[in-house]
Amino acid sequence: MTMFSKLNKFFSSIKLAIFLFISIAVFSMVGTFINQGDTESQYRTIFGPQAYHVLYWLGFLNIYDSWYFIGLAVLLIINLVTASVNIFPRTLKAVFGPYPSFNEMMDKKGPKAAYEIIESKKNTEEIKKVLNSKFGKPFIELKEELYYSKNSIFRFSPFIAHFSIIIIIIGVFLNFHYGFRSYTNIKVGEKTNISYLTKNQKPIKLPFTIRLDKYETKYYPDGIPKSYISKISIIKNHVSVATKNIEVNHPFTYDGITIYQASYGHYKPTAAKLLIVNLKNRKSKKVVYAEFGKTYNSGIDNIKFKFIPYKHPKKDEIPFFIELSNKQILKFNVLPYKKQSMPLIFAEYHNTVFLYNGVKNYYYSGVEITKNAYVSVIWVGSIILIIALFFSFFFNHVETWVKLSISKDGKKTHMEILAIPKKKFESFYKNFNKKIAEIKKDLT
């Protein structure tokens, strides 16, 4: 054997394919038991420094990007391509011919073949008619030989299935190479063009700036979140070019980059929301986000005030108060409010009322920003794969040869029927025997 044919045999063997299936499965399994993509310090605390080094060296901490995992995928492609190239000529011949003759097949028929001999007194024309009614339209019709082939075109389905796997793997590599996955938090009202890669937390610069205009969580009546909604604007050259609400399951794609709602949260509150109402003129309302200790203008009679916490609040007492610029102190009172569960908390000064309206939360929205380059290649490959799998599995190519010979006295026709299925199904033999019985019935 030459070097080339040895290599060819190795790389096209199904044994290698089975080895690859098992190896990929086993390495994938490892990755599900060892958390992937944690930081070094996390690993050190989980496994200890020594085990960490071993695992790191083995590549088990980022196994799906490891050289050998990628190597297995490349080997799978090579395996697929060589195997396909090797059986392609045979398949072309099976579909388009030249088809082997009855005698050739008789010599090399394997254990899959079904073989029957029938004798009939009818003439050749009639016999052929009956045979055609059972086996379909013959591909080749000679005087003494017939060749039928059913579902031959589906011999291409495994090729297409294999080809689609190559398309998918290429799509995955392209996506890996040209795309990225990153993550960033944006405060409500603020903007950023920096995002952090998911795999190593390195910052990258986006081709545009994202501003978070608004964030909102909607709830079901029983308090389970129903949707997380961020209103974002895309800003390019200081101009807002797009505005869109994003929700989980409803991302927004701009310029090939997709922005997903991933999480949300709020920073520690720093200010109280105070609603200032003029009792004489109810329309005059003002909202002040008051931080502790700073002076604000109430907007009513030019009254200035500070919002101050008690150093040692008593039990059941509101833990903050208002100090006016004339040093007068206003305590907060509590008034149970009938419908709402939250009572009114307010402080009064002449005709000015300070309503405490909770703390100000600085919401931020965690967004995932990804460039899903070439995913469409993966989708196309996947759809081809599913269709090709279906046709590979459920269509069995069956070839049938019939050889006719007339007995010496010229009274009888001798039929030898040989049928070979691609897949050795019991139902094929059952079906074959049924057809033979029918032919016998029709011709004798």
Partner 1 sequence: MISANVSVLDGSLYFTISLLFVLASFVGYFIFLFTGNKTISKVSFGLLIVGFIIQTAAFVIRWIYAYKIGIDTPPLVDLYDSMVFFAYVLIFGFILIRIFYDFDALGFIITLVASLALAFASFSPIAPSTVEPTIPALQSYWLIYHIMTLFVSYGAFGASFGLGILYLIKIKSDDKHKNSAGNGGNNKKHGGFLSLLPPANIIEESIYKVVVFGLVFLTAGIVIGAAWADSAWGGYWSWDPKETWSLITWLTYILFVHARFTKGWGGKKMAWIAVIGFAVVIFCYLGVDLIIPGLHSYATPGSTPIL
Q: Would you count residue 80 as binding ligand HEM (CB under 6 A)? A: yes
Q: Are 390 and 95 in contact (CB under 8 A)?
A: no
CA distance 320 to 342: 17
Q: Which residues contact 341 (CB under 8 A, 6 or more apart)?
A: none
Identify the CA nearest to 161 among candidates 260, 17, 339.
17
Nearer to ligand HEM, 272 or 398 (CB): 398
Q: Would you count residue 239 as binding ligand HEM (CB under 6 A)? A: no
Nearer to ligand HEM, 310 or 393 (CB): 393
Q: Would you count residue 398 as binding ligand HEM (CB under 6 A)? A: no
Q: Are 192 and 210 in contact (CB under 8 A)?
A: yes
Among 1, 14, 224, 335, binds ligand HEM (CB under 6 A): 14
Segment contacting partner 1 (CB under 8 A): 47-55, 186-194, 423-431, 434-442? 423-431
Nearer to partner 1, 414 or 430 (CB): 430
Identify the CA nearest to 114 among candidates 421, 440, 337, 443.
421
Considering only residues 139 to 168 of the shown chain, the ones binding partner 1 according to CB under 8 A are none
Contact string (CB under 6 A) for ligand HEM, positions 155-184, x = contact: ---x--xx--x-------------------
- What minimum distance in Å lies between the beta carbon of 157 and partner 1? 12
- Give the three-state DSSP class for 146: strand
Q: Would you count residue 249 as binding partner 1 (CB under 8 A)? A: yes
Find residue 74's DSSP bridge partners.
none
The string of DSSP codes covering 151-165 is: SGGGGGHHHHHHHHH
Q: Would you count residue 380 as binding ligand HEM (CB under 6 A)? A: no
Contact string (CB under 8 A) for partner 1, positions 3-42, x = contact: -----------xx-xx--xx-xx--xx-xxx-xx------
Among 392, 429, 440, 442, binds ligand HEM (CB under 6 A): 392
Instruction: Determine what percent of the chain falls in helix, strand and coil, rounding each to the nearest 5.
Output: 40, 35, 25
Structure tokens belonging to residue 426: 């019991």
Identify the CA nearest to 127 among candidates 118, 140, 115.
118
- What minimum distance in Å lies between the beta carbon of 83 and ligand HEM? 3
Among 99, 102, 228, 356, binds partner 1 (CB under 8 A): 228
Contact string (CB under 8 A) for partner 1, positions 367-406, x = contact: -x-x-x--x--xx--xx-xx--xx--xx------------
Q: Would you count residue 130 as binding ligand HEM (CB under 6 A)? A: no
Looking at residue 98, the DSSP 8-state letter turns out to be P
Amino acid letter at 435? K
Among 95, 389, 418, 443, binds ligand HEM (CB under 6 A): 389
Among 85, 92, 248, 287, binds partner 1 (CB under 8 A): 248
Considering only residues 253 to 292 of the shown chain, the ones binding ligand HEM according to CB under 6 A are none
Instruction: Provide the sign of the torsion angle of the four alpha carbons 97, 102, 108, 113, taken in this order.
Output: positive
CA distance 5 to 428: 36
Q: 66-77: string of b/e by CB count within 10 Å (b at 16+)?
A: beebeebeebbb
Q: Are 140 and 147 in contact (CB under 8 A)?
A: yes
Cα separation of the two ends of the chain: 54
Contact string (CB under 8 A) for partner 1, positions 70-109, x = contact: ----------------------------------------
Sheet holding 140-141, edge to edge: 114-120, 413-421, 398-406, 145-150, 140-141
- What minimum distance in Å lies between the beta carbon of 378 and partner 1? 6
Q: Which residues bind ligand HEM (CB under 6 A)?
A: 12, 14, 17, 20, 76, 79-80, 83, 87, 158, 161-162, 165, 389, 392-393
Q: Which residues bind partner 1 (CB under 8 A)?
A: 14-15, 17-18, 21-22, 24-25, 28-29, 31-33, 35-36, 64, 172, 181, 220-222, 224-228, 247-251, 258, 260-262, 368, 370, 372, 375, 378-379, 382-383, 385-386, 389-390, 393-394, 423, 425-427
